[in-house]
């Protein structure tokens, strides 16, 4: 064998497969919160920007509407048919050239009357447009100045002509207010977003702090400093810690049971081996009989402890589940071949399931039914009952034999105890049934069968809900 092959065969056993990571919970929580904060702030910022922009624009338009109303209210028709103001407009900007505030009165058959602020420019108005509705719009008719225009067409008293009154104001002031508002909103929302993100980071780090504490506790348990997680935990983490402590206690209990089984088996085998060695050393004439007798004793002990070890090893499997009726049918077929003269009947709940491994359930029921067939009078009756309110399933196995006296019922569970030595057996059947049932949280009770007159063995096992 090559050196590499011998290293593979004799090397240390492979460790558990690595657990695949699905990413950081902290980064996941912070990322989701950051995305949600961004969506909310962006949506809220856009909505607020729209509301405030409309409010500023509406306020701007109300000022223009006031001037337009004042113009229409003070306008009259002169003797020459031209329009004039019976009182001057109060805003001095109408008198300053290119001041940014302008008015103009136009009609289809008269020359435009413009404010001095327009100087040599004129507003392009649609004087042919019918109707007297107020019209507000933006205009780029001046290359170097964007305007906000408000106009209305009216018919003045004393004239059949339709006059279009218009007020225009440069948008620079309005645009500057909107720009200042948006800069303020962006800065405010950025600060708010950063503050919320910092809050999420702090909350995430603080909220996941108990998990880091659990990890430190597990490291201390692995290094042997502690045996349980004892640090106080929040209510959300406490159930997980309790389950972890329960799992540790379960593993310790299984390890202790394994050590106890090994010690009991070693102690049980020591006496038969000593007897065999003494007989062999002394060249005893009955050496063959002694070896055979003590070998049977050792085999009985090995069978007993192997049955317990198998049950203990499978007890912690949460998926353990077996149907009682299916197991009884399999046992009935096997026992019927061994004892063809015995009649075995069954009744009860065919859907009852127990939280026991199928192999252990077969061994439990096999021992009970075989004992009833072996020591009974020829009839065996098994009844399955489910008790949902108690969370248990009962299996009653009755026979029509001589039964067991009340004073002997406790002793019959001892390993190797047999009341009828005329029939073959090891005396381990009921002892194994009791031990395996108790390992799964069940129990065994012996009583007298009222219907058949023999022994009734009642096995109680936890139901699989």
Q: Which fold has domain 317-465?
A: Heat Shock Protein 90 (3.30.565)
**Cα–Cα distance between 110 and 162 in angstroms, integer?**
10
Which CATH number is associated with domain 24-207? Answer: 3.30.450
Reported pTM? 0.53
Q: Residues 286-295: pLDDT tens digits? A: 778 878 877 8
Please tell me the predicted confidence (pLDDT) of residue 9.
Answer: 44
For the record, the structure tokens of 30 come out as 């912070």
Query: Is there a shared CATH topology between the 24-207 domain and the 317-465 domain?
Result: no
**Cα–Cα distance between 380 and 374 in angstroms, integer?**
10
End-to-end CA separation in angstroms for the chain = 54
Task: Give the start-to-end residue ranges of the domains of the chain.
Answer: 24-207, 236-316, 317-465
DSSP string for residues in 255-301: HHHHHHHHHHHHHHHHHHHHHHHHHHHTT-TTHHHHHHHHHHHHHHH
Cβ contact 450:381 at 8 Å: no
Q: Residues 230-242: pLDDT tens digits? A: 888 888 888 888 8
**Torsional sign, CA 233, 238, 244, 250:** positive
**Cα–Cα distance between 206 and 369 in angstroms, integer?**
61
- Gyration radius (Cα) of the chain, Å: 50
Please tell me the predicted confidence (pLDDT) of residue 312.
Answer: 59
User: 345 to each of 335, 368, 373, 401, 421, how far by Cα in Å?
Assistant: 12, 14, 11, 15, 27
The pLDDT mean for the chain works out to: 83
Cβ contact 427:367 at 8 Å: no
Give the residues of the chain that fall short of pLDDT 50: 1-12, 317-318, 415-428
Q: Closest Cα partner for 167 from 57, 60, 71?
A: 71
């Amino acid at each position: 064998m090559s050196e590499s092959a011998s290293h593979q065969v004799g090397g240390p056993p492979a460790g558990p497969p690595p657990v695949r990571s699905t990413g950081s919970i902290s980064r996941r929580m912070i990322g989701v919160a950051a995305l949600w904060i961004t969506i909310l702030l962006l949506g809220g910022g856009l909505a607020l920007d729209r509301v405030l922009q409309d409010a500023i624009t509406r306020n701007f338009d109300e000022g223009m509407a006031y001037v337009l109303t004042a113009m229409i209210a003070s306008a009259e028709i002169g003797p020459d048919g031209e329009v004039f103001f019976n009182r001057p407009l109060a805003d001095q900007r109408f008198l300053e050239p290119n001041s940014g505030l302008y008015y103009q009165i136009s009609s289809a058959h008269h020359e435009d009357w413009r404010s001095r602020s327009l100087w040599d420019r004129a507003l392009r108005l649609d004087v042919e447009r019918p109707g007297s509705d107020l019209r507000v719009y933006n205009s780029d008719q001046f290359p170097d100045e964007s305007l906000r225009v408000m106009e209305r067409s009216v018919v003045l008293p004393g004239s059949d002509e339709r006059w279009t009154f218009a007020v225009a104001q440069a948008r620079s002031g309005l645009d500057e207010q909107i720009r200042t508002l948006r800069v303020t909103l962006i800065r405010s929302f950025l600060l708010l977003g950063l503050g919320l993100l910092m809050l999420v980071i702090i909350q995430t780090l603080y909220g996941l702090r108990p998990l880091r504490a659990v990890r430190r506790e597990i490291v201390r348990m692995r290094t042997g400093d502690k045996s349980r997680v004892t640090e106080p935990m929040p209510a959300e983490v406490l159930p997980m810690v309790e389950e972890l402590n329960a799992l540790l206690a379960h593993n310790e209990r299984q390890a202790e049971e394994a050590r106890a089984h090994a010690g009991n088996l070693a102690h049980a085998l020591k006496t038969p081996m000593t007897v065999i060695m003494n007989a062999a050393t002394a060249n005893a004439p009955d050496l063959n009989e002694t070896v055979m007798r003590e070998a049977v004793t050792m085999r009985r002990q090995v069978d007993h402890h192997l049955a317990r070890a198998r049950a203990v090893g499978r007890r912690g499997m949460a998926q353990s589940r077996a149907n009682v009726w299916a197991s009884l049918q399999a046992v009935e077929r096997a026992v019927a071949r061994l004892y063809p003269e015995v009649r075995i009947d069954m009744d009860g709940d065919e859907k009852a399931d127990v939280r026991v491994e199928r192999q252990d359930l077969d061994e439990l029921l096999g021992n009970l039914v075989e004992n009833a067939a072996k020591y009974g009078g020829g009839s065996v009756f098994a009844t399955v009952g489910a008790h949902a309110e108690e969370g248990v399933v009962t299996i009653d196995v009755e026979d029509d034999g001589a039964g067991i006296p009340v004073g002997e019922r406790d002793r019959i569970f001892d390993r190797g105890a047999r009341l009828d030595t005329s029939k073959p057996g090891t005396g381990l059947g009921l002892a194994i049934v009791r031990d395996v049932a108790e390992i799964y949280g069940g129990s065994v009770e012996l009583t007298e069968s009222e219907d058949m007159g023999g022994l009734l063995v009642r096995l109680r096992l936890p139901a699989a809900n």
